[in-house]
Structure 1
Amino acid sequence: MSPLDHKLLRDLWRMKGQAFAISMVIAVGVGMLVMMTGLVTSLNETRAAYYERYRLAEVFAPVTRAPDRLVGRLAAINGVSSVEPRVVGAALIDMADFDLPVQAQAVSLPDLRTPRLNDVFLTDGRMIDSDHSDEILLLQAFARAHDLRPGDRINATMNGARRSFQIVGLAQAPEFLYTTAPGELIPDDARFGVIWMSRSALAAAYDMDGAFNEALLSLSRGANEAAVMDAVDRILDPYGGTGAYPLADQPSNQLVSEEIGGLEAAAVGVPPIFLAVAAFLLYIVINRMVQSEREEIGLMKAFGYTNGEVGAHYFKLVLAIAIGGALAGCLMGIAGGRALIQVYVAYFKFPFLVFQLDPASFVTGVSVSILSASAGGLLVLRSVFALTPAAAMRAPAPADYSRTGKMGRALNQWLDQPSRMVLRRITRQPGRMAGAMIGIACGMALSVSMITIYAGFDRTIDLTFNVVDRSDVTVSFTHAASEATIFELRRMEGVTLVEPVRHVPAVLRNGLATHRGVVSGLATDPRLNRALDSDLRPIALDGSGIVLSTALATKLDIAPGEILTVEVREGRQPILQIPVTAVAESLLGSPSYMDLAALNRALREPNRVSGAYLAIDKAYATDIYTALQDMPSVAGVSLKSQAEIAFQTLMNTGAGAIRYVMGAIAFVITFGIVYNAARIAYAERSRDLASLRVIGFTKGEAAFVLLGELAIVTLIALPIGSLLGYYLSFGIAAGFSSELYQIPAIFDPASYGFAAMVVLGAAVASGWLVKRDIDRAELVSALKTRE
């Protein structure tokens, strides 16, 4: 081992605390990149394997009632590889732990064979016996939410008839990863279930003997999906087909894709921000660290070492810290990804796990870390190498303070000697102070942006459930009913306000941009569920056009004044050309609104409603729920309080949960930044502080000279970091937002105050650690020249 390598090991041991802090800053940035990209890759691979193994259909074709003889015609379509007809229907399950019946979907399974498409994964019990019409499989997540097991019995209402069923097994299915009640966006295992029955039993319940009301299709390789769906629609239109749609628009897959897409957007947009901050801070740290080695560099050159040999020595030092941090980050990312993937697998209800890392994330993280560290070292070494050995070994000339004038004399009158030393240090080396200030400001910005995102999630919940939706109960009907149903609701005791609504499934088109969703017809002057502009003022629905949410307008690339094509997917299925009149602020889903009367006129179905929003007196809640159960036209009832809890759970357990991990990483980086600034300042001034002790300064006075500098730099960095954090929060908020929900970047004074407390806490902790070293320093050793 060469003498320079011996020196390298000694230097690493001497600065082990500082090297560890720098490595951790790198490690958390690399770890986040590896972890999040690994999560995205693993979830996508697991979903693809699950879909393939259980043969999830690629095209879904709902129809009112079609005879089984059409299956052959559907199978003969060019590009179709297999067809599975089935019966589906709405059901209501009576649960003892719920005041209201729980909505469910009943799905048929073939009597004497395994489904060609959309098979189920049996988790408990056995499969149903087609000879026993009362046997069912129940969705595992729903059963667990209500503590149901194979052998239990439940009562359910199907097609107006109340029946009793025996649960023989629990199952999962790729088409029910996300289960939401009709008309809702928020999944809740306790409030929506799935029942599988034999085809013969379910057909008898819904009067579908010899017929089906949904066809599932898989496509051959290279098939034209759009052409296949057009052919399917032509065959099923005479029988009440409502339009075939691809797997991409299947509700469960769409929501899963949005969640994974949100995580992917966060993985693409957020870790690079953290990594860029870490790289910039590393450059500042390496710059100051090499500058502090100025005399040692001159001594090595005096002994005959070339610039290349000295440069290689310091380059090894930089690489040791950077590679160590990058490798630690890779291991942290793998461990964090493996831990979180289990959470996501349970959240997405995958029955198995395909864990796979993204090799590109390792290459990117390690490369960025090494390159940023190398750049920091080489830039500063270049200036040092330009010096002769004698000049490098000589300390830099002190700054000239003879021209401070009246300001200097005024300060001398008010400040004691240690305070004047602090100010002289700051004014003597403004570049270094600015570097430390910018570094701490970046840490403050990361903390501000992440705490602001926490407030943004809370704002989404508050705006959705307390500002936009001010109802207590949402009622959905079995079909588009007359307004007489609304009058019946208004007559109920305890119902204080009723607002009719009509939800019409439709495909919205603007050029090549499309969205399969729902157009909601609201009352002219709604009070319970409103369309609001960006200033949270109600948007008037005057019947002249359609109002789109911000996310939907962005997706369709359309602005007010332009014409939107609306392809209705129920009834006569007209194609409407409607102008966009406004863009509404909505943080949940991608809704679109029209005046109820105008929507009914466009559909040529006057005075029709599909549901209602209710405000009720809580004292009459039980009586109201009982009355709603007895109404034959009511298909389901949703309580806003339960929906809010489900939405909170969604954002805390899905892709939004990663914000807590990122927040913790931001705090770690913030502490690492402040601690590094304090350690470097101490390394640069250890001899000066020892000299002060020798000439009579106390430990506290000597520490004040160093820590006073850190305090001033930190206080100056706080407002700069707050400003940077404000703009940084927009980028991070965009990374967390998806079509399912949008996270606003808002100015929350409490968030800024808390972030400031985090930075000040890191400064106090760092100052305490450094002061401990100052107090323990041996004066004779500190005053010696390090050679």
Structure 2
Amino acid sequence: MSPLNQKLARDLWRMKGQAIAIAAVIATGVMLLVMMSGVVTSLSETKRAYYERNRLADIFAPVKRAPLHVIRDLAALPGISAAEGRVTGSALISLPGLALPLRASAVSLPDDGRPRLNEIHLTDGRRISRDNANEILLLESFAKAHGLTPGDHLSATMNGARRSFLIVGLAQSPEFLYSVAPGEMISDDSRFGVIWMSQTALSAAYDMQGAFNEAILSLGRSNNLADILDRIDRILDPYGGLGAYGLKDQTSNRFIAEEIKGMESSSRVVPPIFLAVAAFLLNIVISRMVQAEREQIGLIKAFGYTNWEVGGHYFKFVLVIAIGGALIGCLGGIALGRGMLTMYQAYYKFPILVFQLEPAAFVTAFATSILAASAGGLLVLRTVFALTPAVAMRPPAPADYSRTGRLGASLNRLLDQPSRMILRRLTRQPGRMLGSLAGISAGMALSVSMISLLAGFDKTMDLTFNVMDRSEVTVTFTHPLASRTIHELQSMPGILQVEPERSVAAVLRHGLNSYRGGITGLINDPSLKRAVARDLSPIPLGPQGIVLSKALAKTLDIVPGQSLTVDILEGRRPTLTIPVANIAESLIGSPAYMQLDALNRELKEPLRISTAYLRIDMKQKDRIFKQLKDRPYVAGVSLKSDARAALQKMMDTGAGSTRYVMLAIAAIITFGIVYNAARIAYAERLRDLASLRVMGFTRAEAAFVLLGELGVITLTALPLGSLLGYYLVYAMAEGFSTDLYQVPIIFSPASYGTAALAVLMAAAFSGWLVKRDIDRADLVSALKIRE
């Protein structure tokens, strides 16, 4: 081993605490990069393989009722490789001991149980028999949530008639990886199920003999999806077509695609922040190390080592820390990614989900960490090149404090000797003080942004269920009903308030931008379900115009005053041109609101409703649910408390769960930054501290000189870090938000106070570690160190 490499090993051992702290910062950035990249790759590849293996359709075309021979016309379209007609419908499942009816979708399978498209994955039991009309397959996640197994019986209401079924098997499907009831946004395995029946049996249940109400198609080599969708719509229009759409608009696929998109966005925003902090730390450490080793650098050069050899020595110091941190980060990213996938598999219904990581991800992680570390070290190496042996071996000129004037005299009267020493240290080397200040400010900013992010998720829950939706029960109807249904519900004992709503499926277009969603019609002055402005005040819905959610307005790139084109996908399917009247705050989904009467007027269907929001006497809820279950026009009943619990689960799993990981990482980085600042100051002032001890200062007084400097810097960094965190939280919230849910930006005193407390605790712990070193220091050895 060459002398410089021996020196490198000694330096790393001597500065092991700082090296480990910086390596930990690099490791966290690499770990997040590897974890996020691996999760995105794993989800994307598993989804692609599962879709292909089970032949998930590329196009879905709902229709009111079309004869089976129309499937031949659809299959003959250019670009279509396979087409199949099926029957679908809504159902209400009744379980013993459960008053609340549970929503389900009923889907037909060919009588032989082998569909050409949207093949199911049987997980338990057997397939249905064409000879037994009461046999069904049940969605596995729903069955597990209620302890149902093959051989059990299940009661369900279909098309107004209650029937009893025999569960012969449990299944999964690529069509229901994210299982959510039609019209809802939040998945809950216990509240929504899927029933598969034979084509003959389900056709009889919904009066669809010899017909279908949904066509599913797969594409060949053609990539002109818009043209194919238009051709399909023209064929199905005479039979009440409701608008064909591609896989990207299919509910389950859309949620998973948004989850992947959110993870990709986070991976572009978050890891670079941590790696930038690591680069900054390395810059501080190497710069102070070079200054502390001026004499050694001069001596090494005097022995004939070139600038490149000496610079390479310090650059190796950087690389060892960077590579060590990258290795730890890669291993940690793999372990964390596997844990994340376990959570994803429980939430999404993939049969198997294996963590995959492309070699390019490791290369990117190593290259990024080394480049970030190099950026922090290369700038300092200029100092090495500039030092000549004669200059390096001569100590720098001492600072001149003789010109402080009246200010210095005033401070001398106000401050004791240790305090004046702290002040002189801060003013003597302001560059170093600013470096430590910036590092601790960065730690404060990370803590502020992470805690604010947590507060944003909590605010999403509060605004969604306490401000925008103040109902207790939501009742969904099988089809738009006359408004007199509201009077029928109001007459039921225990129902205190009823508020109607009309929801229609629609495609909203503005310029080249489009969004397949719907329009929600609300009464003039709603109190249970409201559109609210940014200040949370209710937005009045006038007879003209439409109110878009903030996320939807951003997607369509439209502002109030501009006109929106709306293709209604129900009834007569008119195309409307409606001005945008206002922008509403929305955190879940991308809704659009109109006045109920105005919406019905545009549809030429007056006095129609599709949903009712209720406020009830919770003591009578079981009787109310039983009465609603017996109504043939009721498609679903849901409790807001159940929806809130499901949303909390969604926020705590998937991409949302990474905020807890990042909060822990931010705490570790904050400690690393503060600890580095304390260790560097200790290394630089070891001789001064030993001199103070010899002069009669106690251990506590000597420690005060060093730790007082750290305290001043930490307290000064708190407001600066708060200001930086104010802007950093915007980037964090943008990274976690998707088209389906948005994270609000919350600035609460509690968030800043908690972040400040975390930084102060990190500073206190770091100070305790350094004070322990001060107490253990060898005074004789320390005094031998030359200035």
Task: Report TM bin, short chain.
Answer: over 0.9
Question: Which runs of structure 2 are paired with 1:529-608 in the superposition (5 Å)?
Answer: 529-608=529-608
Report whether the alignment pairs 1:382 with 2:398. no
Contact 1:45 1:354 in 2 (8 A): no
Q: Which residue of 1 aligns with 2:417?
A: 417
CA displacement, residues 595-648 of structure 1 (integer Å, 9 cap, x when unaligned):
000000000011111111112222332332222223222211111111111111
1:144 shift after superposition: 0.8
Q: Which residue of 1 aligns with 2:52?
A: 52
1:206 shift after superposition: 1.2
Q: For 1:774 and 1:556, how far apart are their aligned partners in 2? A: 62
1:485 shift after superposition: 0.3
Q: Which residue of 2 aligns with 1:442?
A: 442
Q: Which residue of 1 aligns with 2:217?
A: 217
Q: For 2:452 and 2:331, how far apart are their aligned partners in 1? A: 29
Higher deviation after alignment, 123-132 or 596-605 = 123-132
SS in 1 for 2:508: strand
SS in 1 for 2:535: coil
1:354 shift after superposition: 4.2
Q: Which residue of 2 aligns with 1:508?
A: 508
Q: Which residue of 1 aligns with 2:527?
A: 527
Q: Which residue of 1 aligns with 2:658?
A: 658
CA displacement, residues 179-238 of structure 1 (integer Å, 9 cap, x when unaligned):
112221111111110001111111111111211111110010134212221121111111
1:359 shift after superposition: 3.9
Higher deviation after alignment, 14-23 or 365-374 = 365-374
Report whether the alignment pairs 1:366 with 2:366. yes
Q: Which residue of 2 aligns with 1:93?
A: 93
Question: Which runs of structure 2 are paired with 1:276-675 in the superposition (5 Å)?
Answer: 276-675=276-675
Contact 1:461 1:648 in 2 (8 A): yes
1:316 maps to amino acid:
K
Contact 2:36 2:263 in 1 (8 A): yes
1:317 maps to amino acid:
F
SS in 1 for 2:517: strand
1:189 maps to amino acid:
D
Contact 2:25 2:325 in 1 (8 A): yes
SS in 1 for 2:63: strand
CA displacement, residues 452-489 of structure 1 (integer Å, 9 cap, x when unaligned):
00000000110010001111111111111111101111
Q: Which residue of 1 aligns with 2:65?
A: 65
1:399 maps to amino acid:
A
1:26 shift after superposition: 0.9
CA displacement, residues 744-777 of structure 1 (integer Å, 9 cap, x when unaligned):
1111111111111111111111111111111111
Q: Which residue of 1 aligns with 2:134?
A: 134
2:717 maps to amino acid:
A
SS in 2 for 1:112: coil
Report whether the alignment pairs 1:153 with 2:153. yes
SS in 2 for 1:138: strand
1:335 maps to amino acid:
A
Q: Which residue of 2 aligns with 1:237?
A: 237
Query: Structure 1 residues 747, 586: closer, same or farther in 2, change over 3 A?
Result: same
1:702 shift after superposition: 1.3
Contact 1:30 1:326 in 2 (8 A): yes
1:64 maps to amino acid:
K
Contact 1:34 1:358 in 2 (8 A): no
Q: For 2:619 and 2:113, how far apart are their aligned partners in 1? A: 52
Question: Which runs of structure 2 are paired with 1:639-718 in the superposition (5 Å)?
Answer: 639-718=639-718
Contact 2:279 2:374 in 1 (8 A): no
Contact 1:283 1:372 in 2 (8 A): no
Report whether the alignment pairs 1:185 with 2:185. yes
Higher deviation after alignment, 82-91 or 777-786 = 777-786
Q: For 1:465 and 1:700, how far apart are their aligned partners in 2? A: 54
Structure 2 unaligned runs (5+)?
none
Q: For 2:171 and 2:363, how far apart are their aligned partners in 1? A: 41
Stretches of 4+ moved more than 4 A in 1? none
Question: Which runs of structure 2 are paired with 1:23-42 in the superposition (5 Å)?
Answer: 23-42=23-42
Contact 1:59 1:244 in 2 (8 A): yes
Question: What TM-score comes out, normalization by structure 1 length?
Answer: 0.98
Higher deviation after alignment, 380-389 or 98-107 = 380-389
Higher deviation after alignment, 340-349 or 770-779 = 340-349
Q: For 2:133 and 2:123, how far apart are their aligned partners in 1? A: 21
SS in 2 for 1:64: strand
Higher deviation after alignment, 156-165 or 686-695 = 686-695
Q: For 1:785 and 1:418, how far apart are their aligned partners in 2? A: 22
Contact 1:287 1:376 in 2 (8 A): no
Q: For 1:318 and 1:437, how far apart are their aligned partners in 2? A: 22
Higher deviation after alignment, 91-100 or 241-250 = 91-100
1:786 shift after superposition: 8.0
Q: For 2:495 and 2:351, how far apart are their aligned partners in 1? A: 44
SS in 2 for 1:105: strand
1:24 maps to amino acid:
A
SS in 1 for 2:222: coil
2:518 maps to amino acid:
V
Q: For 1:390 and 1:691, how far apart are their aligned partners in 2? A: 27
1:272 shift after superposition: 1.7
1:462 maps to amino acid:
D
SS in 2 for 1:590: coil
SS in 1 for 2:175: helix
SS in 2 for 1:530: coil
1:536 maps to amino acid:
L
Report whether the alignment pairs 1:227 with 2:227. yes
Q: For 1:10 and 1:284, how far apart are their aligned partners in 2? A: 20
Q: For 1:685 and 1:296, how far apart are their aligned partners in 2? A: 18
Q: For 1:542 and 1:618, how far apart are their aligned partners in 2? A: 34
2:609 maps to amino acid:
V
Contact 1:296 1:786 in 2 (8 A): no
1:97 shift after superposition: 4.4
1:695 shift after superposition: 2.1
Q: For 1:267 and 1:377, how far apart are their aligned partners in 2? A: 25
Report whether the alignment pairs 1:779 with 2:779. yes
SS in 2 for 1:635: strand
Q: Which residue of 2 aligns with 1:6?
A: 6
Higher deviation after alignment, 66-75 or 114-123 = 66-75
1:597 maps to amino acid:
D
Question: What TM-score comes out, normalization by structure 2 length?
Answer: 0.98
Query: Structure 1 residues 592, 630: closer, same or farther in 2, change over 3 A?
Result: same
SS in 1 for 2:90: strand
CA displacement, residues 282-319 of structure 1 (integer Å, 9 cap, x when unaligned):
22222222222222111212222222221111111121
Contact 2:519 2:592 in 1 (8 A): yes
SS in 2 for 1:166: strand
1:113 shift after superposition: 5.1
Contact 1:384 1:392 in 2 (8 A): no
Contact 2:460 2:743 in 1 (8 A): yes
Q: Which residue of 1 aligns with 2:19?
A: 19
Higher deviation after alignment, 91-100 or 582-591 = 91-100
Query: Structure 1 residues 376, 193: closer, same or farther in 2, change over 3 A?
Result: closer
1:441 maps to amino acid:
S
1:27 shift after superposition: 0.9
Identity between Structure 1 and Structure 2 (%): 67
- How many residues align? The count is 787
Contact 2:25 2:277 in 1 (8 A): no
Contact 2:470 2:527 in 1 (8 A): yes
SS in 2 for 1:559: coil
Structure 1 unaligned runs (5+)?
none
Contact 1:291 1:380 in 2 (8 A): no
Higher deviation after alignment, 150-159 or 486-495 = 486-495
